[in-house]
């Protein structure tokens, strides 16, 4: 595509009006404007900024120090509970009124559904789900703060967050639904992800393979940019609504 990104975005908007099927791959950057820290950005939080996600979001970290891992999740649960979806999440709700939109989110905050999106695939799980490490107990638990570490009401073993850690497989249903959504889309919007974590980042390659138009919305070009037909610079909370304004 040629021309300024704003003109190119208008072409994308026109295709949406014409019924192009849209898939969205969202990452931590879409919730940044809600005040939820990203994983690999600079963090102002003195307590957690010294940890990399690879040091906390792994089964080994949980085995070594479940209280530390739970304190991190408890802190993030409180931030998510105290904030709300932003204009970027809302823009995707509006887009779904115009054409088919399937959202694949790597985020565990539930903000897409809270904003009103209905077709959401939670690729890395949900932060409000707790799961027993010993029996089959799994439940939603919205307590903030949690007793740390939380224990299974049935068997008293440790509970863990119902999220996907490094080295763990993506839930089969989410994996299949995401592959299907990407293979079937005409346009893939990649919003606020560094594209550094697989297999999520591989969905962009799958979209290219199926000749979908890939559009990246990010503060800076990410690992995705080279595979995108269009890069839209800026905060997703400012740029995704532009797409919608031009759509309706």
In whole angstroms, give the CA distance from residue 177 to residue 182: 9
Q: Is 142 a catalytic residue?
A: no
Q: Which x/- pattern over 126-165 shows residues binding Zn ion (rule: CB under 5 A)?
A: ------x-xx-x--------------x-xx-x--------
In whole angstroms, give the CA distance from residue 119 to residue 72: 29
Q: Which x/- pattern over 102-131 shows residues binding ligand BJW (rule: CB under 6 A)?
A: ----x-x---------------x-------
Q: Which x/- pattern over 223-242 shows residues binding ligand BJW (rule: CB under 6 A)?
A: ------------xx------
The binder of ligand BJW chosen from 20, 182, 188, 194 (CB under 6 A): 194
Rounded (10°) CA dihedral 204, 206, 208, 212: -90
* Binding footprint of Zn ion, residue count (CB under 5 A): 8
**Residue 218, CB-side half-sphere exposure with 13 Å CA sphere:** 25
Q: Which helix (H) or strand (E) holds 111?
A: helix 111-115
How many other CB atoms sit within 10 Å of the CB of residue 48?
14
Residue owning tokens 């990407």: 182
Considering the complex, state which of residue 51 and residue 137 has its C-beta at the smaller distance from Zn ion.
Answer: 137
For the annotated catalytic residues, the residue numbers are 124
Note the residues at the interface with Zn ion (CB under 5 A). 132, 134-135, 137, 152, 154-155, 157
């Amino acid at each position: 595509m040629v021309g300024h990104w704003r003109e190119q975005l208008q072409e994308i908007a026109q295709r949406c009006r014409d019924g192009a099927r849209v898939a969205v791959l969202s990452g931590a950057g879409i919730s940044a404007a809600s005040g939820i820290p990203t994983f690999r950005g600079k963090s102002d939080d003195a307590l957690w900024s010294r940890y990399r996600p690879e040091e906390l979001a792994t089964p080994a970290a949980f085995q070594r120090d479940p209280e530390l891992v739970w304190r991190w999740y408890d802190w993030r649960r409180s931030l998510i509970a105290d904030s709300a979806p932003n204009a970027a999440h809302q823009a995707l709700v509006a887009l779904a009124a115009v054409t088919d939109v399937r959202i694949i989110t790597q985020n565990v905050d539930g903000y897409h559904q809270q904003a009103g999106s209905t077709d959401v695939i939670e690729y890395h799980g949900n932060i409000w789900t707790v799961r027993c490490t010993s029996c089959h107990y799994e439940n939603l638990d919205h307590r903030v703060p949690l007793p740390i570490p939380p224990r299974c009401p049935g068997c008293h073993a440790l509970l863990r967050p119902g999220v996907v850690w490094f080295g763990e497989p993506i839930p089969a249903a989410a994996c299949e639904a995401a592959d299907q959504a990407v293979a079937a889309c005409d346009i893939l919007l990649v919003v606020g992800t560094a594209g550094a974590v697989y297999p999520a980042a591989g969905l962009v390659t799958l979209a290219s393979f199926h000749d979908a138009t890939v559009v990246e919305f990010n503060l800076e070009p990410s690992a995705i940019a080279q595979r995108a037909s269009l890069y839209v610079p800026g905060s997703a909370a400012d740029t995704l609504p532009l797409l919608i304004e031009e759509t309706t």
